[in-house]
Amino acid sequence: MISYSFEDLVKKFKVEYHAGGSTQNSVKVAQWMIQKPHKAATFFGCIGKDKFGEILKTKAEEAHVDAHYYEQTEQPTGTCAACITGDNRSLVANLAAANCYKKEKHLDLEENWKLVEKAKVFYIAGFFLTVSPESILKVATHASEKNKVFSLNLSAPFISQFFKEPMMKVMPYVDVLYGNETEAATFAREQGFETEDIKEIARKTQALLKANEKRQRIVIFTQGKDNTIVATADKVMSFPVLEIEQSEIVDTNGAGDAFVGGKLK
């Protein structure tokens, strides 16, 4: 077994840097699809005051994303090495500063909250429920009160399992919910839906308590190459996924995030 540090990977291999993280991936794709005006998409997150933080700021700028980071010194900037060999990939993440976001030190600041008030559509990955659920609730309630679109992603099965309470506090404010088939199945079990049928899971999730009744919740569950399921207040729909030759797939890393980015646009 060979072990490499992030520094070793940079020295030994050709490395490409990207402004990553689940939510930032989606925001970046949304901005790419919008094209102009530049910086139509704004991102909040947390980084360290270090080399990787500077690289992240540069890459976000190159992607024309209006990134406003909370910069702190407790932890270094989070990193994730995506190692791609042929059709295979391996991800090694060090969350670090990503776990250090503070509502009172960033979101609550007047200059940052003005950006929230200016926005019309919000998207937050479920991963952030492990960091600052109070920040999510503040943005979610604002969106509900102002009749703006608030979107959330189930993100991973463990979120529905171990962060069920903060997730369900946010759920009444969710206008659009995303997830894949595995995340949907775990959510259903945790909610006691007593069904493994993904269409029925989508229907039951759509019908959960909703704060802003002016906007009926939309639930979108992807299933890889299989049909994407969409539930609205009126019906549950199934959309086929366009087949792509395996040889034409460059990289599956961030595919789910890119899907969301396309919908946000």
Alpha carbons 73 and 67: distance in angstroms, whole number: 19
Per cent of the chain over pLDDT 90 is 83
pLDDT tens digits, residue range 163-202?
Answer: 999 999 999 999 999 999 999 999 999 999 999 999 999 9
Alpha carbons 219 and 194: distance in angstroms, whole number: 18
Cis peptide before 37 (omega within 30 of 0): yes
In a domain, 10, yes or no: no
Q: Which residue has the tokens 């659009």?
A: 176
In a domain, 11, yes or no: no
Please give the tally of structural domains in the chain.
1
Residue 264's nearest CA partner among 101, 29, 97 is 29
Alpha carbons 96 and 242: distance in angstroms, whole number: 37
**DSSP strand pairing (218-223 vs 236-239):** unpaired
In a domain, 172, yes or no: yes
Alpha carbons 156 and 206: distance in angstroms, whole number: 19
pLDDT tens digits, residue range 120-153?
Answer: 999 999 999 999 999 999 999 999 999 999 999 9
Whether 3 has a pLDDT exceeding 70, the answer reads no
In a domain, 202, yes or no: yes
Whether 211 has a pLDDT exceeding 70, the answer reads yes
How big, in percent rounded to 5, are the helix, strand and coil portions of the chain?
45, 20, 35
Question: Are the C-beta atoms of residues 260 and 41 closer than 8 Å to each other?
Answer: no
Which one is catalytic: 50, 87, 175, 257?
257
> What CATH code is carried by the domain that includes residue 165?
3.40.1190.20
DSSP 8-state secondary structure symbol assigned to residue 37: S
Alpha carbons 229 and 52: distance in angstroms, whole number: 38
Q: Would residue 234 show up in a list of annotated catalytic residues for this protein?
A: no
In sequence order, the 6+-apart residues with CB closer than 8 A to the CB of 18 are 59
Q: Contacts from 238-245 at CB under 8 Å and sequence distance 24+?
A: 238/199
Provide the pLDDT for residue 134.
Answer: 98
In sequence order, the 6+-apart residues with CB closer than 8 A to the CB of 238 are 199, 227, 228, 229, 230
In a domain, 6, yes or no: no
In a domain, 104, yes or no: yes
Whether 1 has a pLDDT exceeding 60, the answer reads no
Alpha carbons 52 and 7: distance in angstroms, whole number: 11
Residue 87 lies in domain: 17-264
Whether 19 has a pLDDT exceeding 60, the answer reads yes
pLDDT grade, residue 251 (50/70/90)?
low
Whether 162 has a pLDDT exceeding 70, the answer reads yes
In a domain, 46, yes or no: yes
Q: Which residue has the tokens 């030994």?
A: 12
Q: In angstroms, how far is the first alpha carbon of the chain from the final one?
A: 43
In a domain, 84, yes or no: yes
Classify residue 189 as exposed, middle or buried by CB count within 10 Å of its CB (0-12, 13-18, 19+).
middle
